Structure 1
């Protein structure tokens, strides 16, 4: 009997000392619990007779796990590639000149790199058995990061095991919900996914249009002046590609750097294509424009194109790069790249450093190919002349579905005649600004004049037959 008044006093003392909002929340929670209990008691589940249950079961139709696939869906008609991929490629039984894959420097055919990868395979096995932070780091991973940082003349590098996840992880590792990102409207799909994951406010400026970008920056500046308290907590990022996958154009980096300084932005540059293709030594767009790399806060590169391996990397100051080892989701939760392919990437960097003439050879080949394809009668050429990625568009504009069907027919006829090309594929209902249908042409340094002439003649003949 003595315990009851004592307990009541204790409860009363707790409520008296607790903040008012805490008491209100606890009372509301108690009322909610009581309401749920009594509501459930009053509204018992409806009971059915066995006959009614049988009738309901007989009428029930489960929804399919996978929806109906259109009869003309591309996945139902895959092209079969046989043998090793290089300058020549076997597609559907046709031996073709390869203008479809992204081996810009032709290192997939390098015997030295292949032998080094086989030696690494015998030493380490195939897989690395886990993410980098969980038994997945081997000495070759550390060596590759050290070599990349040294090659790019930056403080530190971090390597990802999948090229797509590199930029898609790097952006949300830094930019959060309260931040603002300015991005080119033609950025690739991996960047778009990174922008979505950041949950930041995104402003897209017209492709390579610095006046439109500055217009957006001025508008943001005016908004900041109206709310300086919020502006002080908001970080601003600028995201661009060195060479745009969706257009083949080079971004005007010097102008971006000037705007970065003027409006106090953090600049992220995706050099997935430009790394190993631009610059005297293949260091990418910063070397091409002779821009100090310290002006770019984070450089993201790919190992799946010029390097002929897998994965991607980020380079920058130690302070910036080290942050990704705990917050880059693609780094933390993906198994590290196979040691044999990591060793292949190291050997490719050896080639970069020992044979810088390969970059001049590539740029010469891309220029020759560009000049030749610019003469096509029924197709117009898009992309910079030294970009290894180019786009061919139908000159007489038609609706999207018609253009896509015509380009698919051109691809099929070209492959039959011994030229491997592809029509650029996009997730049209998901892309922010879906590009116009095109043929995506890729150049490589192994192309000879006769190869370029053959490619031009084949495209000219096929496009004339189909489009005229």
Structure 2
């Protein structure tokens, strides 16, 4: 027969072992990944409205899900400490063996009573909850109908289940009905299988809300079971934070499985699945994350119970959060040609996305959009405000030919820990003329009194006089950019506002009352538009629409297509207002601001040389030589 190769000797084996190199467990990070890691922000201490970073800076934290500022609640801290001293840090065992404690049973009962369902089961990790619930019920041969916009944890649960998956367009009830009808016809003469609809209440990747009554009607008509992920909605939606079932007035028992998180606004940890007794009992013996993971630490279970009870007994917390969300929405200009907010009006997490027309016109790839978002996040952090951008992990769960990945977006949150211009002792309300009412925000009551005195005594009492109106507007805008600090030593300590003007930053802010109050969110949107309009993506150059930061050296120039303000009205015709909208008001502020920093006679002649009330196309508005 054929000669066989001799077995390798000891020396050859040693050589092979020495030359062998294992493959890396993970893909080596790319330079882009390393750059992102370096830019990650690390907090030093607890989160809150104002957080301290490891580099020593204190920033306004708009990237936290601590919506009710429960982290600073001393009563919750004390009860968590008492639980820690009684039970220790962790049970060190799975719930099915010796990990279950009385606090876990109490937490499950509190969640079930809050939702109005018979039973509930608590998991130790929020991410593993939904990815374990799905494969514990849906197996090979079963059918799952899923929204294309679901989060990564749901997609992993679907992948583990190995079920047959049908996708429908994001939040499209008509397409969902089409898919359900097609499945019903295809399976009419086949063996009976389990069928599920899986969706989110508030979508993590886009921020919009599902139409739960419509899905309930479809699942009853076509005889499907519904798995609803309320990770982003439990503790947020509804009068007492019970979630989307309370918000949309749906009986929670009509949802087969409600999955949620005890982290985020409840500041605890872990997740839960609520439903019938049979649903819960089945998970106790078949859900992998429940059977093979250590139980939730007792102090987190106690914290979850206390925060749920606190929300139920204090509906004013939800009311205040609604008001803050509304205040945040008012800062966004819905008429913007560049960006829009994709979040639901009730969602405290706001997603700011580039409009598709801008993406096409600027020929921005996904990488360009991500770089643009990251530049804005970095710029905001440099100005003392911490926001973030949406991030996702690529997978092949959704076939590439039908996948519709969410667009890159900026993300920031609203919380009860922030204050929105509600400090009356710092606010000066002043009318320049019938069409120009301003709200001034001073950082010190003494400065407020001095400003009010100047506005009422240093200008003419005739508020209808055009020159008086212009002088007052110049003074207001000089306050806004700290120009008066060069002439008046009393204002030398004032900080000039760049992009963000919350009331607890020392300085002065001037806001036209007729327009949305220009605070941190409005400035983020303006910065976003400026980057898109004239800035090269990824560069660190200045923005074309930046307000003047130094004393201007060029002569004051008023564009011929700009109409100066009239004594009455806003100085714009109906067609001008429709065409330019709010941007002309901003341009007007820049022009007046430039003039406020010019004191030469030539500059004054140029300003007053434009007759008030003339149309932009009037040839008499030509700039004098």
What's the TM-score bracket when you normalise by the shorter of the two chains?
0.7 to 0.9
Q: CA deviation at 1:78?
A: 3.1
Structure 2 unaligned runs (5+)?
A: 422-501, 503-516, 534-625
- Decide which of 440, 447, 452 is 2:418's aligned counterpart: 447
In the alignment, which residue of structure 2 is the partner of 1:30?
none
Q: What CA distance in whole angstroms lies between the structure 2 residues aligned with 1:428 and 1:127?
A: 34
TM-score, structure 2 as length reference: 0.64
Of 160-169 and 376-385, deviating more is 376-385
**Deviation string for 1:262-296 (max 9, x for gaps)?**
10010111111111111112111111111111211
Q: Secondary structure at the match of 2:296?
A: coil
Q: CA deviation at 1:377?
A: 6.6
Find out whether 1:414 has 2:347 as its counterpart.
no
Q: CA deviation at 1:302?
A: 1.0
In the alignment, which residue of structure 2 is the partner of 1:325?
284
Work out whether residues 277 and 363 of structure 1, in 8 Å CA contact, stay in contact via their aligned partners in 2.
no
Q: What CA distance in whole angstroms lies between the structure 2 residues aligned with 1:42 and 1:155?
A: 73
Query: Alignment RMSD, CA only?
Result: 2.4
TM-score, structure 1 as length reference: 0.85
Work out whether residues 62 and 412 of structure 2, in 8 Å CA contact, stay in contact via their aligned partners in 1.
yes
- Decide which of 201, 221, 224 is 1:265's aligned counterpart: 224
Q: CA deviation at 1:43?
A: 7.5
In the alignment, which residue of structure 2 is the partner of 1:139?
102
- Decide which of 315, 335, 344 is 1:356's aligned counterpart: 315
Of 127-136 and 456-465, deviating more is 456-465
Structure 1 unaligned runs (5+)?
A: 1-40
Find out whether 1:175 has 2:135 as its counterpart.
no
Q: What CA distance in whole angstroms lies between the structure 2 residues aligned with 1:187 and 1:209?
A: 13
Q: What CA distance in whole angstroms lies between the structure 2 residues aligned with 1:60 and 1:322?
A: 49
Q: Secondary structure at the match of 2:521?
A: helix
In the comparison of the two structures, how many residue pairs are matched? 424
Q: CA deviation at 1:229?
A: 3.5
Q: What CA distance in whole angstroms lies between the structure 1 residues aligned with 2:13 and 2:295?
A: 53
Q: CA deviation at 1:51?
A: 9.1
In the alignment, which residue of structure 2 is the partner of 1:466?
531
Q: What CA distance in whole angstroms lies between the structure 2 residues aligned with 1:60 and 1:150?
A: 59
Of 258-267 and 277-286, deviating more is 277-286
In the alignment, which residue of structure 1 is the partner of 2:47?
85
In the alignment, which residue of structure 2 is the partner of 1:235?
194
**Deviation string for 1:193-227 (max 9, x for gaps)?**
111111111111111101101111111122123xx
Q: What CA distance in whole angstroms lies between the structure 2 residues aligned with 1:229 and 1:369?
A: 52
1:203-214 alignment, distance < 5 Å: 203-214=166-177
Q: CA deviation at 1:52?
A: 7.5
**Deviation string for 1:351-389 (max 9, x for gaps)?**
112102211221222122123234567432111111112
Find out whether 1:436 has 2:407 as its counterpart.
yes
Work out whether residues 339 and 529 of structure 2, in 8 Å CA contact, stay in contact via their aligned partners in 1.
no
Q: Go from structure 1 to structure 2 and tell me whether the alpha carbon gap of 1:331 and 1:87 turns closer, same or farther (over 3 Å shift).
A: same
Q: Secondary structure at the match of 1:105?
A: coil
Q: Go from structure 1 to structure 2 and tell me whether the alpha carbon gap of 1:111 and 1:219 turns closer, same or farther (over 3 Å shift).
A: same
Q: What CA distance in whole angstroms lies between the structure 1 residues aligned with 2:97 and 2:407?
A: 43
In the alignment, which residue of structure 2 is the partner of 1:246?
205
Q: CA deviation at 1:44?
A: 4.2
Q: What CA distance in whole angstroms lies between the structure 2 residues aligned with 1:235 and 1:386?
A: 34
Q: What CA distance in whole angstroms lies between the structure 1 residues aligned with 2:75 and 2:328?
A: 28
Q: Go from structure 1 to structure 2 and tell me whether the alpha carbon gap of 1:93 and 1:429 turns closer, same or farther (over 3 Å shift).
A: farther
**Deviation string for 1:168-195 (max 9, x for gaps)?**
1111111111110111110111111111
Q: What CA distance in whole angstroms lies between the structure 2 residues aligned with 1:207 and 1:59?
A: 52
Q: CA deviation at 1:421?
A: 0.7
Work out whether residues 414 and 462 of structure 1, in 8 Å CA contact, stay in contact via their aligned partners in 2.
no
Find out whether 1:304 has 2:263 as its counterpart.
yes
Q: What CA distance in whole angstroms lies between the structure 2 residues aligned with 1:194 and 1:390?
A: 26
Q: Go from structure 1 to structure 2 and tell me whether the alpha carbon gap of 1:131 and 1:52 turns closer, same or farther (over 3 Å shift).
A: closer
Work out whether residues 370 and 408 of structure 2, in 8 Å CA contact, stay in contact via their aligned partners in 1.
yes
Pick the structure with greater CA Rg: 2
Of 135-144 and 250-259, deviating more is 135-144
In the alignment, which residue of structure 2 is the partner of 1:405?
371
Q: Go from structure 1 to structure 2 and tell me whether the alpha carbon gap of 1:180 and 1:43 turns closer, same or farther (over 3 Å shift).
A: farther
Q: CA deviation at 1:75?
A: 3.0
